[in-house]
Amino acid sequence: MNWSFISFLLIFSLIAELGLAQRLDQESTKKTSKSQKSPPPILIIQPKYMRSEVVMMIPDARHTVYSAGYLGELGLNYFKAEEFRHKFSKGWKEFRDKALINATSVIKSVKPEYIKDSTGKIEYALIQSDNPAIVSSVNTQQFRDLFKENFGSDLWVIIPSRSTILVMSADKNRLNTYKKAFYQMFLDAIYPVSREVFLINSKGLWAIGDLKTSF
């Protein structure tokens, strides 16, 4: 019996099996890595009464807060506090910066509808999207640029639901004309966001009033 030939076959077979095992392991690693790839973070704006573990206050807002989440297979998910600390070791600013990168890409793909009066003058703009990141886009430069020509540098923004944003110029009379309708949109929303009115400009975002009360 040619033992050297048999030894050669055994060694060759072992090498082949090791190579196959290595390739299978690499493929498994790739699939695992792909499946574990983190979805982009979302800066959530939500009613204050909603419970979530990671919350940040909105300047001057009484009924609305920021929260941290991401889009999962079954919809919008909230980060647990421990999960958030592990994923964003530098804290809220790191999360916010990454979330707004995602929001910027979303707002670029949305075309607002402009609601006009009988004379053709623009009253306000309406944005609707089923992407929950659309709401956080109000914090981006791209959002302000989108409406600057029609409404100026100071934007008044209402976010009645996760899928709807209303934008107009800083005009109290115009807001009072639509205030009841906007508030009803908040009441009718499946996923309500805020009944407050926000001022947005280059300095940031903060609440300036409430649709339910006098303005």
Range of the structural domain that residue 163 is part of: 111-210
Per the structure, how many domains does the chain have? 2
Provide the H-helix boundaries in 52-140: 81-87, 92-107
Q: Last residue of a domain, which of 56, 81, 106?
A: 106
Residues 129 and 183 in one domain: yes
Q: 118 is written with which tokens? A: 């009988």
Residues 158 and 184 in one domain: yes
Residues 92 and 168 in one domain: no
On whether residue 59 sits in a domain, the answer given is yes
Own/partner contacts of 83-88, CB < 8 Å, gap of 24 or more, are: 84/53, 84/54, 87/38, 88/41
On whether residue 89 sits in a domain, the answer given is yes
On whether residue 9 sits in a domain, the answer given is no
Please write the tens of the pLDDT for every residue from 29-69.
444 444 457 899 999 999 999 989 999 999 999 999 999 99
Strand 75-78 relative to strand 55-57, pairing: unpaired
On whether residue 183 sits in a domain, the answer given is yes
On whether residue 215 sits in a domain, the answer given is no
Question: Which residue, among 140, 163, 143, 156, has the nearest Cα to 200 in the 3D structure?
Answer: 156
CA angle 41–100–32, rounded 5-degree value: 30
On whether residue 10 sits in a domain, the answer given is no
Q: Last residue of a domain, which of 106, 130, 154?
A: 106
Please write the tens of the pLDDT for every residue from 138-174.
999 999 999 999 999 999 999 999 999 999 999 999 9
Please write the tens of the pLDDT for every residue from 87-111.
999 999 999 999 999 999 999 988 9
Residues 55 and 126 in one domain: no
Residues 137 and 202 in one domain: yes
